[in-house]
Chain A
Amino acid sequence: MIQRPGPIALGFAVLVAAFLLAPLLAVVPISFTPARFLTMPTGALSLIHYRELIDNPDWGQSVLLSLRIGLVSSVTATALALAFALGVWMFQPPFAALLVGFVMLPMIVPPVVSAMVLYFFLTSLSQVSETVGYDTWLGVTLAHVVMIVPCAVVLILVALAQVDRRIDLAAQGLGATPLQRVFMVILPNIRFGVLTAALMAFILSWEEIGVTLFVTSVNAITLPRMMWMGVHDNIDPAIAAISVVLIAVTTVALLGRMIFQREEHA
């Protein structure tokens, strides 16, 4: 029988929860103000900032670009991470821990350093090819793959850790080739882990800003890059409107997942 948290513990947790939610709730009233600059709601409601999202084609284009980059980079990163994690799990190469640590580097190295490194790489690449270098969507995609691949590797390794090795040994003993082991034995057991990894990789790419800021200037404007201009250069209430949309989508998705899970357990 677990001793449930007492009033003191609950009090602290409520404070922290309020702290975590406060800035997200604060953008809601701002998004309905009629003014063109950051002001407090005075009672007059307006959807002008939501109209701005539709009327200004830049927003729609940046959303499409972010979706495209997110899809391509998460699929690429998941495929690379899956092959790597499977290789480590199935063949247990020497220095496996060191290899895993190596592919974790983009997660451990400070993001600003990764940004600098990828800026160096893409500007060098620009001298070779116009289509994959600095400030192109393919260039951003390459940079995102580097940044999201460690997360995919971790999630897939976690999923693999829960696979019973004996079923793989049984398949091996019955003469399965490595590819048969992968597709007929291991993958069916970790498919949810792989999906989670791909989804998480997509989300990370979708909201990546640190590296994107370094490797884009005027052409490849992703949604976070667009928002950065509205937050950093001037405080634009249209950011409040897009933020409300993003918060709503995230909340609905999480609630949906919770309800779905509850039914699954029942």
Chain B
Amino acid sequence: MSERRLAAAASFPPEGERAPHAASVAPEERTGPSGRMRPRRASKWIALGFIAPLLAFLALVYVMPFLGVAEWSVTLPKPGVGQYERLASDPLVLSVFVRTFRICAIVTATSVAAAYAIAYVWVRGTRLQRRLTELCILIPFLISILTRAFGWLALLSNRGLVNSWLQASGLIDSPLQLTYNEFSVILGMTHALTPFAAFPLASAMRSVDERVLLAARGLGASRLRVFWSVFLPMTASGVIGAALIVFVFTLGFFVTPAILGGGRSIMAAELVYLRMFQSPDWGLGAAVSVALVLIVALLMAALFRLARPALLRGAR
């Protein structure tokens, strides 16, 4: 089986992965004198020996089963595209997708904004500030999302810290309903994804040329103006990258919404889980899965097309 054909099965062009290896070309491999023909052919097989195991593993364990899931979506419970018609017409499923997009959009905005604020100090702060912010980003990043969702429950639930403090201080009589609604889902997901957004933002900020900022200052711009008219535009590609990462990740998240939403504000990914294990409807679960993959593929394709000029400029 040729790995090129396998690669072609990948549903979107990974321009973003145009990794450093594409930049330089080993001259000996490509333009050796004709006497080197034999070693070149041998090296082809050696290369295959390096690259093929992972490709074969993923083809067997990941791509083929995906086709199986896609098959479920058109055969369960009966052959046909009935499940996809439900996706487009069933008001329950539609409302889940609308809610999913709304929550994803809000979470993308909040977590990119939060990440920008903390990444700014992480990159440009004093040594102590840099170390402290790094801890604040890495500790939550490395802690399981289960612990973090539990922490939000401990803070926000009816008998949680926030409600007990408010009641003890006499501000409220009965506990506020802060969990098991869209608010807690958005809060929890923003918390889960802020560290992910901080990494691309920080690397965009590190590549800003300090002399440009100094020049703007020298020409009389205020600090705010330098940030708004120079620094922010220069890190725009990082913002786009971070937003893309967060949006794609939120689409498929289901553990945090399942815990903090308490089954009340269901998102698309959680719908798949429920249709698999609680009220079985495998065909619908599979159809939602296929739809999610298509949405992500379209998003990636569209955003890479948009961001391509910026990426190419960045590469030079």
Tell me the complex Cα distance, A102–B3, Å: 10
Knowing that A19-B114, A23-B155, A255-B135 are A-B contacts, what are 12 other residue pairs whose CB atoms are under 8 Å apart, sorted by A's residue number? A13-B118, A13-B121, A20-B118, A23-B154, A25-B151, A30-B154, A80-B54, A89-B21, A103-B54, A169-B27, A210-B254, A235-B157
Collect the chain A residues with CB atoms within 8 Å of residue B18's CB.
Answer: 97
Among candidates B17, B145, B253, B255, residue contacting A100 with C-beta atoms closer than 8 Å:
B17
Tell me the complex Cα distance, A25–B164, Å: 16
The answer to whether residues A250 and B142 also contact, given A40-B164, A84-B53, A102-B7 and a CB cut-off of 8 A, is: yes
The answer to whether residues A24 and B140 also contact, given A86-B50, A112-B292, A118-B65 and a CB cut-off of 8 A, is: yes
Collect the chain B residues with CB atoms within 8 Å of residue A89's CB.
Answer: 21
Tell me the complex Cα distance, A115–B270, Å: 12
The answer to whether residues A116 and B223 also contact, given A84-B55, A106-B62 and a CB cut-off of 8 A, is: no
Chain A proximity mask over B56-98: 1 for CB below 8 Å, otherwise 0 = 0110011111101100100000000000000000000000000
Collect the chain B residues with CB atoms within 8 Å of residue A178's CB.
Answer: 43, 46
The answer to whether residues A100 and B254 also contact, given A87-B47, A118-B61 and a CB cut-off of 8 A, is: no
Tell me the complex Cα distance, A250–B139, Å: 7
The answer to whether residues A94 and B154 also contact, given A111-B252, A228-B146 and a CB cut-off of 8 A, is: no
Among candidates B64, B149, B157, B272, residue contacting A116 with C-beta atoms closer than 8 Å:
B272
Collect the chain B residues with CB atoms within 8 Å of residue A153's CB.
Answer: 54
Query: Interface residue tally of chain A, by bracket?
Result: 35 or more
Among candidates A22, A81, A110, A160, residue contacting B292 with C-beta atoms closer than 8 Å:
A110
**In the complex, residue of chain B having the shortest beta-carbon distance to the beta carbon of A168:** B26
**In the complex, residue of chain B having the shortest beta-carbon distance to the beta carbon of A173:** B28
CB <8 Å contact, A247 and B143: yes
What are the 4 closest A-B residue pairs judged by CB atoms, nearest first? A110-B252, A101-B14, A23-B151, A87-B50
Tell me the complex Cα distance, A227–B259, Å: 12
Looking at chain A's contact residues, the main secondary structure is helix
Tell me the complex Cα distance, A212–B5, Å: 30
**A38 contacts the other chain (Cβ, under 8 Å)?**
yes
Chain A proximity mask over B12-54: 1 for CB below 8 Å, otherwise 0 = 1111011111101111110000000000000110111111011
**A131 contacts the other chain (Cβ, under 8 Å)?**
no
Among candidates B121, B145, B300, residue contacting A209 with C-beta atoms closer than 8 Å:
B145
CB <8 Å contact, B276 and A116: yes
Tell me the complex Cα distance, A209–B258, Å: 12
Stretch at the interface among A3-11, A44-52, A189-197: A3-11
Collect the chain B residues with CB atoms within 8 Å of residue A86's CB.
Answer: 50
**B148 contacts the other chain (Cβ, under 8 Å)?**
yes
Tell me the complex Cα distance, A153–B255, Å: 25
The answer to whether residues A111 and B254 also contact, given A27-B147, A97-B17, A227-B147 and a CB cut-off of 8 A, is: yes
**A39 contacts the other chain (Cβ, under 8 Å)?**
yes
Collect the chain B residues with CB atoms within 8 Å of residue A19's CB.
Answer: 114, 191, 194
Collect the chain A residues with CB atoms within 8 Å of residue B142's CB.
Answer: 203, 250, 254
Tell me the complex Cα distance, A21–B27, Å: 51
Tell me the complex Cα distance, A98–B10, Å: 8
Tell me the complex Cα distance, A254–B138, Å: 8
Chain A proximity mask over B90-130: 1 for CB below 8 Å, otherwise 0 = 00000000000000000000000011011011001110010
**A219 contacts the other chain (Cβ, under 8 Å)?**
no
CB <8 Å contact, B65 and A84: no
**A218 contacts the other chain (Cβ, under 8 Å)?**
no
**B131 contacts the other chain (Cβ, under 8 Å)?**
yes
**B243 contacts the other chain (Cβ, under 8 Å)?**
no
Residues A223-259 near B (CB distance < 8 A): 224, 227-228, 231-232, 235, 239-240, 243, 246-247, 250-251, 254-255, 258
Least Cβ–Cβ distance between B36 and chain A, in angstroms = 11
